[in-house]
Each structure stands twice: as structure tokens, then as C-alpha cells.
Amino acid sequence: MIASHYGANVPLEFIRKSCGEQRGGVTFLHIRKAANLIGLDTAEIQIDSKNLREMVDLPCILHWSERHYVVLYHISNRNHKDYYHIADPAYGKIKLDEKDFLEKWYPAGQEYGYAMAFDIADEQKLQQKHQKEDHNQNYLWQQVLQFKTTIIATTFILFITGLLSYGTVRTNQWLIDLGIVKKDQALIIGIVAFLFVASISKVLSEVLHQYIIQKSANKLFIHNLRKFLKRLTIITPRFFEQHKISELVQKMDDHNKIEEFNTQTFPQLIFNLSMYIFYSIILYPINKYLFFWMLLYSILSAAWMSVFNDKKRLINYQRYDVDVDQTSFLYEFIIGMQEVKLYQGVENRLGIWESKQQKEYAINLRSFRLNSIESMGFKALSILNLCCFTGIGAIMVTHEELSMGQFFSIAFIVGQLSVPIEFLSTFFNAYINAQISGKRINSIFAKETETTASESNQLQKITPSLRASTADHYISLRNISFSYDTLTMPPVLKNFDLDIKIGEVTAIVGESGSGKSTIAKILLRLLETDHGEMFYGGQELSKVAPDHWRKICGAVFQDGMIFSDSIANNICLDKGNMNFERINWACEIAEIHTFINGLPNGYHTNLSQSGINLSKGQYQRLLIARAVYRSPEILIFDEATSALDAKTEFRVMENLWSHFENKTVVIIAHRLSTIMNADTIIFMREGQVAEIGTHEVLMQKKGGYYDLFNYQVSVIAC
């Protein structure tokens, strides 16, 4: 938006890439970097609302809710009140009064907020052409098109139902005017029979309508949610360090709102519009005065409801923030219950929860007030409409311009014309919710994925013969630099080189913070380096799809995940290729087979809240069994045995040495007794390789490794 204001045509994805994906999220420093790249100068300021209005040129960027950024593009004044027009990337444009604006902008307890102003620095950069991203932003209408067959079918059924309703009314008119007034019993029986058939047909049509909706909605809902989850699996890993779990869960819940809009609201909109046109055409020749009155009533009602759309959008915006915050808090509260009880934090945490509930209550109250005002206004118009119609119709009956049957028929038509107007409020609410939900979901599909990050290259698969190749027997890291935040944090690795011998055991040790775990994640391509290359037997891994690379890798991290499933399904995550002989073999290596066999259900024991609890050591050994099960070419252990006692650890490591001979094993450990038998030991210090060699060689050097080993021995001796 800001780039466009200054005449630059810059794709959103270019801005995202320029800011970078940081562990702690984007800061003003990252925004400044992106602005400078497109030819804009910036000024970061701490300012209050009065000076913001008077001194800062709009549009500008504001630090919002102490966690992300929005664009302030206009300040308006109405009835001596200031209104702030905000563009939020997650929700679109909203308008806030000063109270709501300051609550979001000012940090807690402060009388000022943070802003970034812009000015042109380089006209040539502003005029540069950037490759446009080929990404359809209108997710909601994409989904509507997916439902087109269902929408057409359900609209047709609703139309048939509407015609049956109209036919029922016309026959009721004949029943009164021709059957009852003229005392024609045969006609009365015929009309009653028709009404019975029509009523049964309406019921069957409604059942068929619901069946079609449920069948297609369920199918497409699963398809779209699976597509969303699949997208999450290929997004670059840094994305998950920036977003709360609760935020992603809310985005999944957004699919329900879109499904409801597509399967219920939108077909009803088409049906109601069709019925409105249909009954208007019928009403006009009967009485044009009533027709024009209904048209005026429709316009007034639609105008009245549209007045509240912006405020409803704002409430939706505020409710989403509160819901994400609430879900995140409750998740942490339940997961951290042990810590809360241990440190007497129950009352404090409950107090925080109550304050969050108060915010939700305040939003619900505002929503209730808004809906009440809208409803009262609409009901007032409806009462006025009813009174006018009743008066005009009654006068026409007394003047014998209408029969009683016609009067009741017109009453039905007017009632049917009122239904689409009443539906407008439901439609506006559903459309606003679905539109905002679509934008939130679309933001996930706009994120860079692991495959698109390398799509300029011709992605390859790992060549099976590489391990036996004589050209190059190493996994090599060349000139690697990596930082979790290039602007605000020092690099973890800088111009780093490392060679890991294929088919041997390599141990990486060093003090905390020296970059050991970072190397493990880079090896697995869970982190993208700032620059540098990685090779496997001479093959450049940037030209290999990450999932192909990971197929030959296995890894155990100390924070690995055990799923709520059976033990067997936790060891083999691919149920289609489950082999119980291999599961037993993997568990024997991990020294957990005896424990599992002693359970009543053995490998079918469910590991869930209602199942058994594992000790830390058992938990870790299960993770080891999972990694070993696939018998990968490359096995990476990051503090994988830290929870095991020395005896069990020794047996596990002995099993690994014997079963993974001639395979590439990388072990990261603080406990040096674990890695004494490694073929190569690499000692890290401050992101660099300080020493390299076998245990005996490094002990003879009497360097950092020697000091660390002797310190651990002395601690054990004490």
C-alpha cells in the first residue's frame, strides 16, 4: 500500500522476502530494509496521537497490539470525533474511533505509540519493474466456484419449493373465492388434495436440499482443509516460529465459515433474489402502488442494514484477536499446569484469564448493542410496511377493487417479498465473516514454500550410487552463514565450513550456544542458510527437493513429538508401509522392546491422555526407535540420549554402532562419554570449528575439548 502510494508497483511477496522471516517476527529494522530496497527512506518515531495527526505524513506504519504492524492511511473527523482508517494485512481495511485506536496502538501503560514515516529516497529504484506474483487473492470466490454445482442444484430445489409455495397460495385464493364462497365441494376436495401433494413435495424438496448440501459440503470441506494442512507441511519451517498454534487453529476454523457461506448463505441469496424478482413481477400488474411501496421499503431496509457493515467488520476483527489470545492462553495454562501449581500461580493465571474474558464480554456486548439497533430499525420499517399494506389492502377490499382471496394472495406475496429483505442482514453478516476468513486462509497460501524456494532450479533426487562414489565421500558445508535474525542478532554461524565423512560416526560437541543444534537443522534442511552451499557426495543439495533429501535422513531431537496414537503408529508414521518385524528390530536397538512387550496391548497400546504415561527416558527411546525404523542413510542425534541413565545409554549406543556400521551418523551431545568412540569429533566454539580429530587426538592437543572432558570427569568424580 505504501509503495503504491509513492508510485512503486511492488508485489507483496517481494516485500515479504525483503523483510525476511525471523524467529522473533518482523521489526521496524526489517521494514526499513525492505523500504530502502524499493527506494524509500524511513523515520522511526515515538509519538502520541496529537502529534501523529499534525506532524506525520500518511500513509505510515504503526506498531499494533504490541505484536504486528498495520498501515494508517487516513484520519477523518465527524461530529468533532477523530476516526482512524487502518489497513491490517490479516483483515483488510477498518475504521476505528480514537478510544479503540489508542487501545491497539499504545503499549500497555504508555501515553505514546511507535510509528514509521516514509519519504522518497531514490526515484530510479521506485520505478523498477518487479516480477508479479501469480497468486489469486480472492480465496472466497474461488471456493464459491468450487461449489457451483451444489449451488446450482440447491438453488433449483429452492426455486421449485418457492413455486410450490406460490401455487399453495394461489389455490388458497381459489379455495376462498371459488370453493367456499360458491360452495363448490368438488373444487374444495380437489384443492385440498393438491395442497396435500404440494406440502409433501415441499418436505421432500427440503430433505433433498439438505442432503445435497451435507454430501457436497462435507466432501469439499475435507478437500479444502486437507489442501490447507498440506500447504502447512511445505511452508518454510521458520513460519512456525513466528505464529502461535492458536492462530493456525483459528485459520482452520475459518474453513467452517466459508463452507457455511458457500453451502447455505450463497444459495439462499440466489434463491431469495430470484423469488424477489418473481413475486415483484406478479405484484406489479395486480397493484403498482403496492409494488412501488415494497420497492421503497426494500431500498430503505437494505440501506439501513448496510450502515452497520463497517462496525460488524470491526467487531469481527476484534473478536478474532481475542479468540486467538484466549485459545493460546488456555493451551499454555493446561500444558503448563504442573508449573502453575508448583509455583503457586493459580490465582494469577485465573486473574489473567478473567481479564481476557472481560475483553470478550465487552466485544459481545458491543455486538449485541449493534445487532439490537439494527434489528429495532428494521422491525420499525417492517411494522410501517405491514401497517401501510394492511391499510391500502383493506381500503381496496371495501371499494371492491380486491376480493378477499386476492387480498390474502397479495398478503402472501408481500410476505414473500419481505423474506429476502430480512435475509439481507444474515447475508451481510455471513459475507463479512467469510470474506475476512478467506483473507486469513489466503495469507497461508501466499507464503513461500520449500519447493517454491528452489523452483528456479531443476529439482533432483538423491542418487543412490553417491554413497559408493569415490569422487567425494563427504557431506560438505561450504561458507555457511546463518542468523535467526540478520538485523538484530549476531550470526550463529559465519563463513562456516565443515566436512562430515559419509559412512562414519561424527560427533559435534561444544558449549551451549556454539551452534551445534543449528548445524543439525541445517543438515536436515529445516533451516535455510543466509548464504553458502551444502553438498552430499559432490551433489549440490540446493538442487534437491527437501523431502527427497529427508527420505534418506533420520533424526532425534530432545524436543521430539509423540502423537496420540498407538506405539506402533508412533514408530512407523507411514501406516501403508508398516512392518512389525522392523518395528521390533528398531525397538530392540532403542532398548525399549522389553518394556513394550510387558504392556497389556503391547505395540497397540495407545499413547494418549487416556493411555499410559511414558518416562522421559522411555519417551526418548521411542523417538530413537522411530528414527532407526527406516534404517536411514544418515542418522542425526541431537541430545538424543540426554534423558537416559549411563547404563541404558551405553547399550543403546553399542546397538547403534553395530547396526549402523558404514552409515553416516552425526551425534550432538553435551555428555562426552556418549561420543568417545566416534570416528571424528568436532569441537565447536562461537559458531566455528575450533578442534577436530578423534578422542585420543583431541585429548593430546589439550585444548577446549580436553578442558571440557576433564571438567565433566571431575564433576562425576565429586
| β-pairing verdict for 68-78 and 81-88 | antiparallel
Measured between alpha carbons, how far is 493 from 528 in angstroms, rounded to an integer? Answer: 12
Question: Other C-beta atoms within 10 Å of 489: how many?
Answer: 12
Instruction: Compare 610 and 239 and report the one with higher pLDDT.
Output: 239
Assess whether pLDDT exceeds 80 at residue 237.
no
Measured between alpha carbons, how far is 229 from 219 in angstroms, rounded to an integer? Answer: 15
Asked if omega into 490 is within 30° of 0 (cis), the reply is no
In this structure, what are the phi and psi dihedrals at residue 557, rounded to the nearest 5 degrees? -110, 155
Band (pLDDT 50/70/90 cuts) for residue 559 is: confident
Helix/strand/coil for 675: coil
Instruction: Compare 18 and 698 and report the one with higher pLDDT.
Output: 698
Assess whether pLDDT exceeds 80 at residue 216.
no
Q: What is the largest CA-CA distance in the chain?
A: 120
Percentage of the chain surpassing pLDDT 90?
A: 9
Which whole number is the average pLDDT over 143-153? 69
User: Are residues 679 and 666 in contact, defined by beta-carbon separation less than 8 angstroms?
Assistant: no
Q: Is the dihedral of CA 468, 470, 475, 481 positive or negative?
A: negative
Domains and CATH numbers, the chain: 1-127 (3.90.70.10), 137-446 (1.20.1560.10), 504-515+546-717 (3.40.50.300)
Task: Name residue 460's beta-bridge partners.
Answer: 544
User: Are residues 666 and 636 in contact, defined by beta-carbon separation less than 8 angstroms?
Assistant: yes
Assess whether pLDDT exceeds 80 at residue 503.
yes
CA atoms within 13 A on the CB side of 662: 2
Question: Other C-beta atoms within 10 Å of 318: how many?
Answer: 22
Instruction: Compare 19 and 98 and report the one with higher pLDDT.
Output: 98
Assess whether pLDDT exceeds 60 at residue 642.
yes
pLDDT value for 611? 44
Q: Which of 172-176, 414-418, 686-690 has the highest mean pLDDT?
A: 686-690
3-state helix, strand, coil in the chain (%, to 5): 60, 15, 25
Measured between alpha carbons, how far is 183 from 196 in angstroms, rounded to an integer? Answer: 20
Band (pLDDT 50/70/90 cuts) for residue 140 is: low
**With helix as H, strand as E and coil as C, how does 18-75 read?**
HHCCCCCCCCHHHHHHHHHHCCEEEEEEEECHHHHHHHCCCCEEEEECCCEEEEEEEE
Assess whether pLDDT exceeds 60 at residue 463.
no
Residue keyed to cell 542418522: 635
Helix/strand/coil for 211: helix
pLDDT tens, residue by residue, 316-355: 877 887 888 888 888 888 888 888 888 888 888 899 889 8
Measured between alpha carbons, how far is 17 from 13 in angstroms, rounded to an integer? Answer: 6
Measured between alpha carbons, how far is 551 from 462 in angstroms, rounded to an integer? Answer: 9
Radius of gyration of the chain (CA): 34
| β-pairing verdict for 634-638 and 553-557 | parallel
Q: Which amino acid is at 122?
A: D
pLDDT value for 51? 86
pLDDT tens, residue by residue, 588-607: 999 999 999 988 888 988 88
pLDDT tens, residue by residue, 181-199: 667 677 777 777 777 777 7
Indicate the angle between helix axes 148-174 and 139-146, nearest 10 degrees: 70
Percentage of the chain surpassing pLDDT 70?
A: 86
Pull the grid cell for residue 354: 478473567
Residues 494-527, buried b or exposed e (16+ Cβ, 10 A)?
bebebbbebebbbbbbbeeebbbbbbbbbbbbbb
Helix/strand/coil for 693: strand
Measured between alpha carbons, how far is 607 from 566 in angstroms, rounded to an integer? Answer: 6
Assess whether pLDDT exceeds 80 at residue 669.
yes
Integer CA distances (angstroms), 540 to 236, 349, 500, 534, 546, in order: 19, 51, 15, 6, 12
Assess whether pLDDT exceeds 50 at residue 470.
no
User: Measured between alpha carbons, how far apart are the two ends of the chain, in Å?
Assistant: 65
pLDDT value for 467? 47
Question: Other C-beta atoms within 10 Å of 534: how many?
Answer: 20
Band (pLDDT 50/70/90 cuts) for residue 659 is: confident
Assess whether pLDDT exceeds 70 at residue 121.
yes
| H/E element, 485 | none
Pull the grid cell for residue 284: 406489479
- Check residue 645 and report its DSSP letter: -
Which whole number is the average pLDDT over 214-242? 78
User: Are residues 246 and 328 in contact, defined by beta-carbon separation less than 8 angstroms?
Assistant: yes
Measured between alpha carbons, how far is 588 from 591 in angstroms, rounded to an integer? Answer: 5
pLDDT tens, residue by residue, 378-411: 888 888 888 888 888 788 878 877 777 677 777 7
| β-pairing verdict for 634-638 and 664-668 | parallel
User: Are residues 173 and 406 in contact, defined by beta-carbon separation less than 8 angstroms?
Assistant: yes
User: Are residues 634 and 645 in contact, defined by beta-carbon separation less than 8 angstroms?
Assistant: no
Instruction: Compare 398 and 153 and report the one with higher pLDDT.
Output: 398
Cα–Cα nearest to 126, from 37, 16, 31: 37
Q: Is the dihedral of CA 116, 120, 122, 127 positive or negative?
A: positive
Which whole number is the average pLDDT over 489-500? 85
Assess whether pLDDT exceeds 90 at residue 636.
yes
Instruction: Compare 130 and 276 and report the one with higher pLDDT.
Output: 276
pLDDT value for 90? 63
Measured between alpha carbons, how far is 204 from 201 in angstroms, rounded to an integer? Answer: 5
In this structure, what are the phi and psi dihedrals at residue 495, rounded to the nearest 5 degrees? 50, 50
pLDDT value for 254? 84
Which whole number is the average pLDDT over 422-438? 84
Q: Is this structure's pTM higher than 0.85?
A: no
Measured between alpha carbons, how far is 485 from 495 in angstroms, rounded to an integer? Answer: 16
Question: Average model confidence (pLDDT) for the chain?
Answer: 81
In this structure, what are the phi and psi dihedrals at residue 680, rounded to the nearest 5 degrees? -140, 135
Measured between alpha carbons, how far is 369 from 19 in angstroms, rounded to an integer? Answer: 41
Assess whether pLDDT exceeds 70 at residue 276.
yes
Measured between alpha carbons, how far is 144 from 136 in angstroms, rounded to an integer? Answer: 14
Quote the distance between the C-alpha of residue 464 and its chain's center: 37
User: Are residues 525 and 542 in contact, defined by beta-carbon separation less than 8 angstroms?
Assistant: no
CA atoms within 13 A on the CB side of 33: 17
Quote the Cα angle for 581-582-585, to 5°: 90
- Check residue 344 and report its DSSP letter: T
Which whole number is the average pLDDT over 151-168? 72
| H/E element, 317 | helix 309-335
Assess whether pLDDT exceeds 50 at residue 569.
yes
- Long-range pairs, 123-126, Cβ under 8 A, ≥24: 123/39, 124/39, 125/37, 125/38, 125/39, 126/3, 126/6, 126/7, 126/8, 126/38, 126/39, 126/40
| β-pairing verdict for 40-47 and 113-120 | antiparallel
Which whole number is the average pLDDT over 290-300? 86
Residue keyed to cell 444474515: 426
pLDDT value for 454? 46
Indicate the angle between helix axes 580-589 and 646-659, nearest 10 degrees: 130
Cα–Cα nearest to 305, from 437, 387, 427: 427
pLDDT value for 456? 42
User: Are residues 544 and 502 in contact, defined by beta-carbon separation less than 8 angstroms?
Assistant: no
Measured between alpha carbons, how far is 148 from 635 in angstroms, rounded to an integer? Answer: 49
Q: Which amino acid is at 458?
A: Q
Task: Name residue 70's beta-bridge partners.
Answer: 62
Task: Name residue 118's beta-bridge partners.
Answer: 42
Which whole number is the average pLDDT over 463-476? 59
